[in-house]
Structure 1
Amino acid sequence: MTKKILLALAALTALTLCFSSCKKDEPKPTPKSEVKLRVEPKEIKVIVGRTAELTVTVEPADTKCTFETANADIATVSDKGVITGVKVGKTVITVKAGDATPKTVDVEVIEASSMDKSRYIGTPDDKGYIAPIYVVEASKIKDLKDVITEANKVNGYVFDEDFAMDNGGNVLIYVGPNNGKQWTDDRIIGEIGYYYFPNPADNFMLFFMKNSFDEDLVKKAADGDEKAQQALFGVAAAYGFDKEQASGSLDNGSPCLVAYNMEQFPEGPYEVMILSSKNSKTGKYTIRFQVLQRAPQAQSSLAQRTPMMPEMNVAPSHLLISNR
């Protein structure tokens, strides 16, 4: 009996060793890919003959990326993600990296002369005070530099520079007609700035008035001076900001005015905040219009605000023109 038990145990031990040996010989499963791919923007416009560059982030960083265009007759793309507009139309760029899920970008190629007229603010007047300005969806400023340049060129605003600021952001600067020494027309807004940052949610636009003033018109308006209110809100209204007019002060105590363009743009309302600053050298006050994609009820840097008169005269005033 003991002999039979010993034989059975020996057979079981041999079987266990064999099974263990077989398990060791099995190939290990291939680890799942950890490649991560991000491509911005998701949609882009490019002018015929111009270029636009995709921002691609991939992990691990040494993973090779490939770029393919669905229609090279519309737009081509380089191995660095630079898109070139060939002819008017729409196509799709596909970006691949390892076995990460491919990303696609919708591309529209347009002619310089076929800008979306619905994105201009400002109706030209017979006195030449109001020159239309192109408003791009704030988060897309960096991706639409060429479009912004061509759109503003139509109305005489010339690209000056893409200026890098100390805070990590950039500003695209456009200047109205001048001969290097003085302005050569009567438009009220002489300089436009499109500010863009690493976080697109921080983007905004600034419009600078050509004239400067001996007194702070923004403070006067905020304090109830009707003439100053009509002058400044008149410019805002001429550029489409004619709703929810109010005065107030910023958290730092500086006076300001606000108004809203409520229905022109599909992405939602835009706010204009009218601000002033004193030039330490000349002692004069300059006025700027800060445009943000924001609704009246959204949180802002205004500490308090007071609604203005609803029946205000909003005709642009000659008071606001640069002396030539």
Structure 2
Amino acid sequence: MQVKHLLLITTLVLTAACSSKKTEIDENLSETQLYQRAQTALDNGSYSLATDNLKALESRYPFGRFADQAQLELIYANYKNSEPAAARAAADRFIRLHPQHPNVDYAYYLRGLASFDQDRGLLARFLPLDMTKRDPGAARDSYNEFAQLTSRYPNSRYAPDAKQRMIYLRNLLAAYDIHVAHYYLKRGAYVAAANRGRYVVENFQESPAVGDGLAVMVEAYQRLGLNDLAATSLETLKLNYPDNPSLEDGEFVPREEDVSQRSWLARATLGLIESDAQEPPKQSQAARDIIRQYQDAQQDLPPELDNVLEEQKAEQPDEGGRSWFSYLTFGLFD
């Protein structure tokens, strides 16, 4: 175990030392040589080196014949180098400088893709994170950016893939709102929960979370004593989503315990601390479907992207039977 720890520390130190070393670009290189070096680095997967050469090319030959292409490929290099903020900034700059460029749709697409992958970073590859419970800021950004692409360039070669990702992102945002609604239910904020459930029903009509939104409305209205609204929502739920987890043999079963029935400790801490072990909540329809929806969104990317997401998926290690040390070191010493 001590040897492994020593190897881990050594690896981290060497990684930090390597990352701090800057690549020196020969000032005598011509525009063509810089571009060729960048292309070679891209082909070899050396995206940091490609970024350095593309930046040098753009700064030294801003009006050269490779200037526009260098700006476009800089977006791609930053994206592949797992630098989403830099990729989006490069895409924004290209769109601003070249709004009529024949390949500007590619910049829109990569900008959306960078936001799409932002939440699925290093930790998401090794830890079982529930994407529906995380901050949806990047997801909203990605949805809006893909929406710009599909509205401005409906015939773009990237539009079909963008639309598929928008479906996944829409479902992800809807599932996040369901989690927020149940947070309100658990803490007795029934009006807020009912409003959030109604928002999902009204704004995410084709999402699998609509059934969960109706279930939230039923539960919140029942707690508030609004029996007519609860009955109407329940009938709609039974008619359209008979397999919803909140329905057992056709009868509605609330997911959250009534606040008045909780212990004094649970009420005092707004449900953050429970005196008794609570039964794990049932999995919502949205949470059940979100993994499948993500898989549906993983369509083959255009050839120039080298099927990036499929490669990342293939690189993910098998999580079964891994030790705590394997998790701690991100699988470096498996």
With the length of structure 1 as denominator, give the TM-score of the two structures.
0.24
Whichever of the two has the greater Rg, that structure is 1
Higher helix share: 2
With the length of structure 2 as denominator, give the TM-score of the two structures.
0.23
